[in-house]
């Protein structure tokens, strides 16, 4: 395997040492006094080694002696790096002391004497330097013996000029090449729709063929997105820990739904079962290696609780894995066709040239190189990237011959190694560091670049900043497929709440490229184990650690008690609940990320002198210790999302290396430390809190000479004067992209400050909150490059722009108006003529909420000939209008052929509480009057409150496009005229159904609230419905059996507060189907709440998995009396001695929850398949029974407040799986069944009335003893 090891990178590390040894600070503060001779020797010897290091790195790949020498160079370089870090820190400390830092901190000079006495320092450091010099001299002698040669290296600045910085993504080419594979697998997945068993489809192929890319193409197919209710993607990789995998599946679901996970006592597998239960899902398990079938069976057992048609797609290189997991024949992925491989190579290799400029001799060589790629798109991208900077035929031939080394065993790894070895030394070092991240880890690109800088991988240049170089390096690596899944997008609201920025930039590493990085880093990376008691995970050579396990401090404390590695990077993903120990062993850290729930700051500053990167986001401490300002090397400080943080260190002005300070999401901060203007390297300050005038804090004017970029939030602007606002000089900060302006309580004087904080014209995002002016300054109307504008809670604002301001936002994509309670119009009435320019030509999302006085949207403009009108929002896709009490009308314009089109691109519309408007008849309306001819031909989601008349019209116009529908009737007492109008509109719906082929209507989700008519008609229209909720609808009186028969795809049905619902009609329809046919054959979840007149449930299908019925006081039967017509007993109340037949009809039913159903009497006979039973407030029940006498699968039994209940099943096999038992306030039950009493000691959770407990040998800790009320 030696040939697969990537080239060892030592040169950049030596260059870092050379640069530190030449720092001007060493001479300026005489920190090497008395060591000058050793210093001169080093400054001579280090360049000599650097001259031949490139040759040594290449030789080390095939000569063991050279490799051992290089390893020793690396060890000595690391040690020398640490020594010069100490020299440089001492120089910075002396500089700070000269400027008064230590006296300001109040340090006692005697206390510092032992550590920083110049004589003691010289003696200690002299010995360390002498050791380094001796080691370097030995290495130079050995270097001469090896005969390494000097190799000319192109300057990095020259390499940048050759690069195109647009990331090349071969996925578009692969998408075309894999269209047949995609179509085949999509067909297979959709074909499982009626399969009651879990389907598992393995995709098998060697590494680098594009299995993951194919799975992504399938996952993103519109048919797949529509077909599956739930889609989840998890990369498994080397670890197949069942609990960890279940937890990751659940977390993906919560994150995708933007739902914050709540603390749960359930096991990960139980939580997984809850997520998938009753839902048709697609789960992609990417890169599976596990061959332990028992682990898969554990996971599969919970995954089988999904709805019919649920599918798991797994990608793997191992056919054995496919045999263990697959239920369907594995899909063996073949090599990509040569023409597509050729297209990838040419696109990448000649990306710097136009097609006509490509040298013919090189173009003719592509076919030969195609053969080297073995049909792998990853190899093609890698080779194309190598060839891109090669311009001669000889260079191409050399690459072609060197890449002809792939074997069946090695696969394409030699090509990837060749691609890695062709990188510059700097880029090799940057990518190799990424081995610290586990496979499939989502990497924050900005943080990654800051980590590269913290470790000195990117050096300062006069012409360009390290951050810019880092971005170029990342782009180059991404274009060569070292990084994949590169994404740029908005952070979720939860991510912003916990401290993320508004936008995020992420990537992952291809698993084969990760292998390359690991081979280059060897044993320098450590990964914490799943089992904390293992200590062998931490090698002595480890320098970079990432811990994703829970309680990382326990793992660290246990390992550091035994070992002392020179750790430079420590990244912890989980919260620390306990203090770290052995703090002095962390003194070599350069980068640290942790979050702690402990209030005191968890570390000692005296051990962190060399720290460059510190991320404490989402921690709970209230304040930093003041001595953290002695971290003179710190470049990046992230404290976003620290909800309890009240202040920063007062003397931050001495942290002069600081480049990035992330302070957003800290709501309790009230000011910034003084003299921030002295942090001249600061490029990022995400939140500045203006303190009160006269306090010892920085005013806004301190930002004047800071070249800030990215995101900036200015809080408490009521404390800012016009003079300070002007001095802040925001207009000159050309790198700012997102600006947020917040006042605590607005006043009319705010306008003068807002006028003075005008940003530059290139700003992309603007947020203004609690501004007190009545209009906005003209500079906002001129911000033509703005992409997002969000205006919130500006209580005095009457119009957006004042008289004389002609405005247009040609690039605006998203616009929010929220809580502008005095807003009357978009501009002053005297300025309504805006000319022919469309104000919002690119706007895609418009949100207007709680603007009580707003009357209308902007009017559309006319063409010069007046023959056709344009929409004011021609590109709008999402429109939300809520709580607009005065809203009158929105714009509707004529399109082609005279059809009125409101928003031609609209996909989602939300309307609620929008005014009481008089129609032409004088009748009061509760939503804007909509023309009956208006259309939005692409509308998918309609969520509307209004009159039945208007909403039926909307449905009729958009039946062929709607996928999600929520309608709420807001009319009170229905008049005769209103009923007639609604009936007329409903007729349009029926006519549309007859006009179009109604099985093709795509509606999958429908919720109806408060309807007095039309419920059954709407159900009949949309036979593709999967989820249906009917709430407070007087129109629902009897079960619509005929309509239910057509809903063959429905999986979830909720009926809420339908007071008039009784059950079946008194005289059953003669058109009813034969008894053998089922209603709702795919129904899996049924919830009925508050239907106080209901006496019976419709005929339930065998597919049902979960049933919840609450507060239905007249319910006499859980099962339809149609069963009685078939010769079976009626309902759940049965006569003793008559065995019920219907319980066998529900083999899938796992959970039943019955509450507040006082009409149920006698025995409640339930299916034996149940896993969870809850019965509360059913006062007339006498017993709970199973048809078979046993509940073999029952895990939870909860019964309470059932006064007459007296018996439960008894017998040796009545409850073999029971874990949770709750029985209370059931006075009729004098004692528990004998066998249940015997099992109490083995249960996990027990809640019982005291008289049921009895003598028990052992009681679980989770028991709740005594009488439990309610």
Could you tell me which residue, 763 or 416, shows the higher pLDDT? 763
> Residue 1211: what are its φ and ψ, rounded to 5°?
140, 160
Does residue 163 register a pLDDT over 50? no
What integer is the mean pLDDT of 290-299? Answer: 88
Q: Distance of CA 401 to CAs 5, 344, 364, 715, Å?
A: 18, 20, 16, 62
Distance (Å, whole) CA 56 – CA 150: 10
Could you tell me which residue, 808 or 322, shows the higher pLDDT? 322
Amino acid 360: pLDDT: 87
How many CA atoms, within 13 angstroms, populate the side-chain half-sphere of residue 864? 1
Confidence of residue 1115 (pLDDT cuts 50, 70, 90): very high
pLDDT tens, position by position, 771-794: 999 999 888 888 889 999 999 999
Distance (Å, whole) CA 200 – CA 313: 6
Amino acid 220: pLDDT: 92
- Looking up tokens 């060892």 gives 8
Say how many Å lie between the first and final Cα of the chain, rounded. Answer: 67
Does residue 688 register a pLDDT over 80? yes
What integer is the mean pLDDT of 592-597? Answer: 91
What integer is the mean pLDDT of 518-544? Answer: 77
User: Residue 394, class by beta-carbon neighbours within 10 Å (0-12 exposed, 13-18 middle, 19+ buried)?
Assistant: exposed
> Residue 57: what are its φ and ψ, rounded to 5°?
-65, -40
pLDDT tens, position by position, 1208-1229: 988 888 888 898 999 999 999 9
What integer is the mean pLDDT of 169-198? Answer: 87
Amino acid 530: pLDDT: 60
Amino acid 900: pLDDT: 55
C-alpha 483, offset from chain centre: 18
Amino acid 932: pLDDT: 40
Does residue 66 register a pLDDT over 80? yes
Distance (Å, whole) CA 639 – CA 648: 10
Distance (Å, whole) CA 1214 – CA 469: 70
pLDDT tens, position by position, 566-576: 999 999 998 89
In whole numbers, what is the pLDDT of the chain averaged over residues? 83
Amino acid 164: pLDDT: 46
Could you tell me which residue, 871 or 995, shows the higher pLDDT? 995
> Is CATH 3.60.15.10 correct for 179-332?
no
Lowest mean pLDDT among 202-211, 413-422, 724-733, 750-759: 413-422
Amino acid 496: pLDDT: 66
Amino acid 860: pLDDT: 63
Could you tell me which residue, 1243 or 409, shows the higher pLDDT? 1243
pLDDT tens, position by position, 218-243: 999 988 988 888 999 998 877 788 88
Amino acid 1077: pLDDT: 57
C-alpha 110, offset from chain centre: 52
pLDDT tens, position by position, 360-376: 889 888 888 888 888 88
Q: Are strands 483-490 and 503-509 parallel, antiparallel or unpaired?
A: antiparallel
Does residue 1072 register a pLDDT over 60? no
Amino acid 851: pLDDT: 94
CB 1102 within 8 A of CB 1083: no
What integer is the mean pLDDT of 1036-1046? Answer: 88
Does residue 967 register a pLDDT over 90? yes
pLDDT tens, position by position, 1123-1181: 444 444 444 443 333 334 444 578 888 899 999 999 999 889 898 889 899 999 999 99
Could you tell me which residue, 893 or 104, shows the higher pLDDT? 104
How many CA atoms, within 13 angstroms, populate the side-chain half-sphere of residue 949? 22
Confidence of residue 506 (pLDDT cuts 50, 70, 90): very high
Q: Which residues pair with 1053 in a beta bridge?
A: 1028, 1086
Domain boundaries, the chain: 2-153, 179-332, 337-511, 1096-1270
What integer is the mean pLDDT of 445-469? Answer: 91
pLDDT tens, position by position, 616-658: 999 988 888 888 999 999 999 999 999 999 999 999 999 999 9
Amino acid 648: pLDDT: 94
Instruction: Give all strands of the β-sheet with 443-444 in edge-to-edge order.
Output: 443-444, 503-509, 483-490
Does residue 113 register a pLDDT over 60? no
CB 1232 within 8 A of CB 1184: no
Extract long-range pairs of 1094-1101: CB within 8 Å, 24+ residues apart. Answer: 1094/1058, 1094/1061, 1094/1062, 1094/1063, 1095/1062, 1095/1063, 1095/1159, 1096/1063, 1096/1064, 1096/1120, 1096/1121, 1096/1131, 1097/1063, 1098/1039, 1098/1041, 1098/1044, 1098/1063, 1098/1064, 1099/1041, 1099/1123, 1100/1145, 1100/1146
Which tokens hold the place of 157? 């600045």
Which tokens hold the place of 251? 């977390």
Amino acid 926: pLDDT: 44
Distance (Å, whole) CA 1092 – CA 1062: 8
Contacts of 732 (CB under 8 A, 6+ apart): 760
pLDDT over 70 percentage in the chain: 84
Does residue 1042 register a pLDDT over 70? yes
């Amino acid at each position: 395997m030696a040939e697969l090891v990537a080239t060892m990178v030592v040169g950049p590390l030596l260059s870092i040492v050379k640069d530190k040894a030449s720092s001007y600070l060493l001479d300026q503060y005489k920190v090497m006094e008395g060591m000058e001779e050793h210093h001169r020797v080093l400054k001579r010897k280090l360049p000599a080694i650097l001259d031949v290091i490139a040759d040594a790195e290449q030789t080390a790949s095939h000569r063991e002696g050279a490799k051992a020498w290089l390893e020793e160079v690396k060890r000595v370089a690391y040690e020398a790096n640490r020594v010069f870090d100490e020299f440089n820190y001492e120089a910075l400390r002396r500089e700070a002391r000269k400027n008064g830092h230590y006296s300001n901190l109040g340090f006692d000079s005697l206390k510092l004497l032992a550590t920083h006495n110049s004589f003691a320092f010289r003696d200690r450091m002299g010995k360390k330097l002498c050791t380094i010099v001796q080691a370097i001299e030995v290495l130079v002698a050995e270097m001469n013996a090896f005969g390494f040669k000097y190799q000319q290296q192109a300057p990095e600045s020259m390499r940048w000029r050759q690069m195109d910085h647009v990331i090349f993504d071969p996925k578009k080419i692969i998408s075309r090449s894999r269209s047949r594979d995609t179509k085949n697998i999509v067909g297979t997945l959709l074909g499982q729709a009626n399969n009651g068993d879990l389907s598992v489809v393995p995709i098998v192929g060697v590494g680098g063929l594009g299995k993951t890319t194919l799975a992504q193409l399938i996952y993103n197919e519109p048919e797949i997105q529509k077909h599956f209710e739930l889609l989840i993607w998890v990369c498994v990789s080397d670890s197949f820990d069942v609990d960890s995998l279940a937890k990751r599946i659940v977390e993906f679901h919560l994150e995708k739904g933007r739902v914050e996970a709540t603390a749960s006592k359930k096991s990960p597998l139980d939580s997984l079962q809850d997520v998938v239960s009753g839902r048709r899902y697609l789960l992609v398990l990417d890169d599976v290696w596990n061959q332990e079938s028992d682990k898969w069976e554990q996971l599969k057992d919970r995954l089988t609780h999904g709805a019919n048609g649920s599918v798991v797609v797994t990608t793997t290189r191992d056919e054995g894995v496919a045999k263990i997991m697959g239920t369907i024949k594995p899909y063996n992925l073949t090599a990509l066709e040569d023409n597509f491989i050729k297209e990838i190579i040419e696109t990448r290799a000649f990306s710097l040239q136009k097609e006509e400029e490509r040298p013919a001799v090189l173009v003719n060589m592509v076919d030969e190189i195609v053969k080297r790629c073995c049909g792998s798109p990853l190899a093609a991208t890698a080779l194309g990237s190598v060839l891109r900077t090669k311009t001669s035929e000889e260079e191409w031939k050399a690459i072609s011959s060197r890449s002809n080394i792939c074997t069946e065993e090695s696969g394409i790894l030699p090509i990837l190694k060749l691609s890695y070895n062709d990188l510059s030394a700097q880029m090799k070092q940057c990518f190799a560091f990424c081995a610290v991240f586990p496979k499939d880890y989502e990497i924050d690109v900005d943080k990654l670049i800051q980590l590269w800088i913290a470790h000195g991988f990117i050096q300062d240049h006069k012409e360009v900043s390290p951050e810019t170089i880092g971005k170029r390096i990342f782009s180059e690596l991404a274009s060569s497929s070292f990084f994949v899944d590169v994404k740029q997008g908005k952070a979720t609201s939860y991510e912003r709440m916990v401290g993320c920025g508004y936008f995020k930039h992420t990537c992952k590493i291809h698993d084969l490229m990760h292998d390359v990085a690991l081979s280059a880093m060897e044993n320098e990376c450590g990964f914490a184990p799943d089992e904390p008691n293992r200590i062998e995970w931490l090698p002595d050579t480890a320098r970079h650690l990432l811990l994703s396990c829970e309680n990382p401090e326990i793992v660290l404390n246990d390992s550091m008690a035994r070992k002392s590695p020179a750790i430079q990077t420590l990244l912890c993903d989980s919260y620390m609940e306990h203090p770290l120990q052995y703090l002095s062993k962390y003194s070599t850290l350069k980068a640290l990320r942790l979050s702690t729930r402990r209030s005191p700051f968890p570390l000692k500053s005296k051990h962190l002198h060399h720290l460059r990167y510190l991320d404490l986001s989402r921690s709970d401490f209230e304040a930093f210790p003041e001595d953290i300002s002695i971290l003179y090397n710190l470049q990046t400080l992230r404290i976003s999302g620290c909800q309890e943080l009240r202040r920063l260190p007062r003397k931050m002005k001495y942290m002069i290396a600081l480049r990035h300070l992330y302070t957003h999401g800290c709501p309790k901060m009230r000011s910034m430390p003084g003299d921030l203007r002295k942090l001249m390297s600061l490029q990022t300050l995400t939140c500045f809190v203006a303190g009160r005038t006269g306090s010892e804090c920085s005013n806004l004017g301190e930002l004047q000479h800071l070249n800030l970029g990215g995101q900036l939030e200015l809080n408490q602007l009521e404390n800012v004067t016009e003079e300070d606002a002007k001095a802040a000089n925001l207009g000159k900060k050309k790198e700012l992209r997102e600006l947020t302006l917040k006042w605590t309580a607005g006043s009319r004087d705010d306008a003068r400050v807002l006028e003075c904080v005008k940003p530059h014209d290139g700003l992309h995002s603007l947020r203004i909150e609690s501004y007190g002016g009545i209009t906005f300054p003209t500079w906002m109307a001129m911000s033509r490059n703005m992409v997002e504008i969000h205006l919130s809670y500006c209580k005095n604002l009457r119009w957006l722009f004042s008289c004389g301001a002609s405005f247009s936002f040609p690039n605006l994509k998203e616009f929010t108006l929220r809580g502008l309670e005095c807003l009357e119009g978009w501009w002053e009435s005297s300025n309504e003529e805006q000319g022919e320019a469309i104000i919002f030509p690119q706007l895609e999302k418009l949100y207007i909420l709680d603007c009580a006085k707003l009357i209308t949207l902007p009017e559309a403009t006319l063409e010069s000939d007046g023959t056709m009108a344009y929409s004011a929002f021609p590109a709008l896709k999402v429109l939300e209008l809520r709580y607009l009490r005065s809203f009158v009308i929105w714009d509707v314009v004529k399109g082609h052929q005279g059809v009125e089109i409101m928003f031609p691109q609209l996909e989602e519309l939300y309307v609620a509480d929008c005014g009481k408007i008089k129609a032409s008849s004088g009748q009061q309306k509760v939503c804007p009057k909509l023309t009956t001819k208006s259309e939005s031909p692409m509308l998918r989601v309609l969520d509307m409150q209004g009159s039945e008349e208007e909403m039926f019209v909307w449905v009729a116009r958009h039946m062929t496009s709607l996928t999600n529908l929520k309608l709420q009737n807001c009319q009170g007492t229905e008049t005769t005229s209103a009923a007639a109008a609604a009936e007329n509109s409903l007729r349009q719906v029926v006519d549309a159904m007859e006009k179009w082929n109604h099985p093709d209507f795509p509606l999958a989700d429908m919720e109806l609230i408060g309807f007095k008519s039309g419920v059954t008609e709407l159900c009949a229209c949309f036979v593709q419905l999967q989820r249906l909720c009917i709430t407070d609808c007087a129109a629902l009186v009897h079960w619509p059996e005929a309509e239910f028969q057509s809903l063959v795809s429905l999986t979830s049905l909720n009926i809420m507060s339908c007071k008039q619902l009784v059950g079946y009609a008194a005289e059953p329809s003669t058109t009813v189907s034969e008894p053998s046919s089922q209603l709702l054959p795919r129904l899996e979840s049924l919830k009925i709440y508050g239907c106080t007149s209901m006496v019976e449930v419709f005929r339930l299908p065998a597919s049902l998995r979960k049933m919840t019925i609450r507060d239905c006081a007249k319910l006499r039967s859980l099962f339809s009396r149609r069963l009685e017509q078939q010769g079976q007993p009626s309902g759940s109340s049965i006569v003793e001695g008559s065995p019920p037949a219907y319980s066998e009809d529900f083999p899938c039913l796992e959970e039943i929850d019955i509450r507040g159903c006082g009409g149920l009497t006698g025995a409640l006979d339930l299916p034996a398949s149940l896993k969870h039973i809850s019965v509360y407030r059913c006062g007339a029940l006498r017993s709970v029974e199973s048809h078979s006498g046993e509940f073999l699968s029952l895990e939870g039994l909860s019964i309470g407040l059932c006064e007459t209940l007296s018996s439960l099943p008894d017998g040796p096999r009545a409850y073999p799986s029971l874990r949770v038992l709750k029985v209370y306030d059931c006075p009729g039950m004098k004692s528990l069944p004998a066998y249940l009493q015997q099992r109490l000691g083995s249960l996990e959770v027990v809640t019982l009335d005291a008289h049921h407990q009895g003598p028990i040998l052992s009681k679980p800790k989770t028991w709740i003893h005594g009488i439990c009320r309610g």
